[in-house]
Amino acid sequence: MRFDIFQLNETGSTNDDVKKAAEAGVAEGMVVWALSQKSGKGRLGRAWESPQGNLYFSVLLRPPRPKRAWGHYSFAAGVAIAETVGAILPDAKIELKWPNDVLVNGKKICGILLEGGEGWLVIGMGINVASTPKTPLYPTTSLAAEGATALAVEGVLNGVLDRWGAWYEKLNKEGFEPVRAEWLKRARRGVVRVRLPGSGQEELAGAFVDLDEEGNLVMRLEDGTERRIAAGDVIF
C-alpha cells in the first residue's frame, strides 16, 4: 500500500478527518497525522488525551475482505505496533492484550480505534512516545518512560506504517491465520477479568484460552465453562 501522509499541527480527531475524506471518496492509503488532538477518541466512547509529543494518526482503508472480517485489521495493527516498539526497545517485554492493546513491561503504550462505513475502514492509532496520559482501568507507559532516547515521532510513524503495510497485504492475501498466529505468540496469558460494555459494568473472571478465527477472546470461567467475548475491556 502506498501512503499519502498529511501532517497537521492540531486537529479534533484524526479518525474524524479521515472518515470525512473516506465519505468524500478519497483513495485508500491516505494518512492523517496530527501533533496533537483536541478531542481524541478512544474505544467504547472514551476520550483519548492527546498532548503534543505523542503519535496520533489514522489510515484510510478500502479493504477487499468482507465487512464481517474487518475486525481482523485491528489485530494486524497490534502486531505491527508490537514489532515497531520491540525494535525501539529491544530489552522490553512486549505483549498484546485483547482486543488491541500493546503492553510494554505490563503497561499500555498505545490505543487502536477502528471505524467503518460503506466501503471504507479507518484505523486510528495513538502511541505514547514522550508522555504518559492516564487511562481508566489500566496503567500506561511511553517509549521515553521505558528508556528510548532521541526519538522522533515521525520515525515511529514511519516504522509503524512500514510494518502495518506488510501485515495489511499479508492479511488480504493469506487471511487471518498468520496474523492470529503472530498475535497469539505475543498474547498476554494468565488470569483475565473482562468488563463487558454497557451500563451494568458486568465483569467476568477466568483464564485466557485463545483468540478464535473471528477475533473473539476465548476465556475459561471459574466454573469451567468457556465464553467467547466479542467486545469489552480486559483487566489482568
The three cell numbers of residue 84 are 515497531
Q: Does 42 bind ligand BTN (CB under 6 A)?
A: yes
Residue whose C-alpha cell is 485463545: 210
Q: Does 126 bind ligand BTN (CB under 6 A)?
A: yes
Nearer to ligand BTN, 110 or 211 (CB): 110
Q: Does 40 bind ligand BTN (CB under 6 A)?
A: yes
Q: Which of 29, 46, 144, 210 contacts ligand BTN by CB under 6 A?
A: 46
Q: Does 133 bind ligand BTN (CB under 6 A)?
A: no
Stretch of residues binding ligand BTN (CB under 6 A), selected from 79-87, 124-132, 146-154, 162-170? 124-132
d(CA 157, CA 161) in angstroms, rounded, equals 6
What residue type is 211 in one-letter code?
A: L
For CA atoms 53, 75, 46, 22, the dihedral sign is positive
Whole-angstrom CA distances from 45 to 11, 30, 115, 131, 134 are 18, 24, 12, 22, 16
Letters for 152-171 (x = contact with ligand BTN by CB under 6 A, - = none) are --------------------
DSSP one-letter code for 183: H
Stretch of residues binding ligand BTN (CB under 6 A), selected from 56-64, 73-81, 197-205, 214-222? 56-64
Give the DSSP H or E segment for 15.
helix 14-23
Q: Does 113 bind ligand BTN (CB under 6 A)?
A: yes
Q: Does 124 bind ligand BTN (CB under 6 A)?
A: yes
Q: Does 14 bind ligand BTN (CB under 6 A)?
A: yes
Q: How far apart are the first and last CA of the chain?
A: 36
Whole-angstrom CA distances from 80 to 25, 54, 119 are 27, 17, 23
Number of residues that bind ligand BTN (CB under 6 A): 19
The least distance separating ligand BTN from the CB of residue 56, rounded to whole angstroms, comes to: 4
The least distance separating ligand BTN from the CB of residue 222, rounded to whole angstroms, comes to: 27
Q: Which residues contact 53 (CB under 8 A, 6 or more apart)?
A: 129, 130, 131, 153
The least distance separating ligand BTN from the CB of residue 85, rounded to whole angstroms, comes to: 15
Which residues bind to ligand BTN, rule: CB under 6 A?
Answer: 13-15, 37, 40-43, 46, 48, 56-58, 111-113, 124-126
